[in-house]
């Protein structure tokens, strides 16, 4: 019998190929096309970006040069521009159809933004590029080795620069509590799909990690989450240090009020800077945190 391949056995290149295929599909692209603001505005983006941009402005003379990595339809890029219209934003993604959504929006809203079709590692290899802010929004979970990606980003970061990871799931999403709440809040189509998947898991191969019919290499960590504590502990190796590591209850506004009561701080965000390169940031964590806490309408969990 053939041994079934697990996600751990896939290489970064194979995962990249799976992402290229996935984000070329019409239904996936349509999902992002329909996912327009203001219905789906996630307040944490503007709160965190505003706080970090204010910090950067205090330490930089020139406009902030920012990159929205794996930016897709440009969710983070457009929030950056609304927080700071002078920010010079580069949006990078491997999917031209996703970037097309951003191109149309930029034209419609008259927003200037450099838009590049490139995979993240190739883009970050270019030594002529330097950024003051690099954002990974809902992006790290598409990589087998997010630490290696952050290390590559650190090499493109100006001495005062910061990296923000936002909207990636942590391993709480595997908990029964989270799955129950997600199921309860889902529409009927989604409920049917969840029940079908549970049955095939029960009576099928039985292994979540095995590559079966519904196995999605590109999206695997969407369902397992990322161990954010492990990731944070690996930052030193990437030449970075965490100014702030928080977990929060992303989603529909009413859900973000309910989830903290159930301990479901399922998304994480880490604000990083160069380790040891810019001592002025040494005491800035508390200020950054206060600014963010003050402006968020829901509770967050600050990771020690
Ligand atoms: C979940 S979507 C997030 C899009 C956007 N950042 C957001 O927050 O809405 C993931 C995006 O990552 C892109 N992507 C996946 N792997 C990538 C890679 N290796 N390099 C560049 N983009 C990548 C996909 O094309 C897709 O647009």
Determine the distance separating the centroid of ligand 1 and the alpha carbon of 71, expressed in angstroms: 6
**149-186: pLDDT as tens digits:** 999 999 999 999 999 999 999 999 999 989 888 877 76
User: Rounded to whole angstroms, how far apart are CA atoms 60 and 291?
Assistant: 19
State how far the alpha carbon of 287 is from the alpha carbons of 20, 83, 122, 291, in Å. 40, 19, 35, 6
User: Strands, DSSP E only, in 99-147?
Assistant: 114-117, 131-137
**251-285: pLDDT as tens digits:** 888 888 889 999 999 999 999 999 987 788 878 89
User: Which residue among 70, 105, 117, 250 has the greatest number of ligand 1 atoms within 8 angstroms of its CB, and so is best to mutate?
Assistant: 70
**214-227: pLDDT as tens digits:** 678 999 999 899 99
The fourth-level CATH superfamily of domain 7-174+217-302 is Vaccinia Virus protein VP39 (3.40.50.150)
- Provide the pLDDT for residue 66: 98
Non-local (6+) Cβ contacts of 98 within 8 A are 23, 29, 32, 72, 73
pLDDT band at 189 (very low <50, low <70, confident <90, very high): low
Per-domain boundaries in the chain: 7-174+217-302
Residue 65 structure tokens: 């040069």
| 206 pLDDT above the threshold of 80 | no
Ligand 1: list residues with CB < 6 Å. 16, 19, 23, 70-73, 75-76, 93-95, 98, 119-120, 137-139, 142, 167
Non-local (6+) Cβ contacts of 90 within 8 A are 65, 66, 67, 68, 113, 114, 115, 116, 129, 131
- Provide the pLDDT for residue 253: 84
pLDDT band at 210 (very low <50, low <70, confident <90, very high): very low
User: Rounded to whole angstroms, how far apart are CA atoms 279 and 35?
Assistant: 40
User: Rounded to whole angstroms, how far apart are CA atoms 299 and 260?
Assistant: 6
Which atom of ligand 1 is found nearest the CA of 136?
6
More confident residue, 188 or 283: 283
| 205 pLDDT above the threshold of 80 | no
Residue 72 structure tokens: 């897709």
């Amino acid at each position: 019998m053939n041994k079934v391949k697990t996600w751990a056995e896939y290489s970064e290149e194979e995962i990249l190929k799976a992402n290229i295929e996935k984000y070329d599909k019409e239904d996936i692209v349509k999902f992002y096309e329909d996912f327009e603001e203001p219905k789906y505005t996630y307040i944490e983006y503007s709160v965190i970006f505003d706080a970090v941009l204010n910090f950067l402005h205090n330490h930089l003379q020139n406009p902030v040069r920012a990159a929205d990595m794996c930016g897709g339809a440009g969710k983070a890029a457009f929030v950056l521009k609304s927080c700071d219209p002078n920010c010079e934003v580069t949006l990078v993604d491997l999917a031209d159809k996703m970037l097309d959504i951003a191109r149309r929006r930029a034209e419609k809203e008259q927003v200037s933004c450099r838009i590049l079709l490139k995979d993240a590692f190739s883009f970050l290899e270019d030594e002529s590029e330097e950024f003051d802010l690099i954002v990974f929004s809902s992006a790290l979970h598409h990589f087998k080795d997010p630490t290696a990606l952050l290390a590559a980003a650190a090499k493109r970061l100006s001495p005062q620069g910061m990296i923000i990871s936002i909207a990636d799931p942590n391993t709480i999403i595997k908990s029964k509590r989270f799955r129950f709440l997600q199921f309860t809040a889902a529409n009927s189509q989604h409920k049917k799909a969840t029940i079908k998947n549970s049955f095939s898991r029960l009576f099928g191969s039985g292994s979540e990690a095995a590559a079966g019919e519904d196995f999605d290499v590109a999206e695997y960590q969407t369902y397992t989450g990322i161990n954010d504590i492990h990731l944070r502990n690996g930052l030193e190796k990437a030449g970075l240090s965490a100014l702030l590591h928080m977990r929060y209850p992303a989603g529909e506004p009413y859900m973000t009020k309910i989830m903290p009561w159930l301990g479901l701080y399922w998304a994480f965000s880490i604000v990083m800077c160069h380790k040891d390169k810019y001592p002025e940031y040494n005491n800035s964590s508390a200020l950054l945190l206060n600014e963010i806490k003050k402006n968020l309408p829901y509770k967050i969990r600050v990771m020690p």
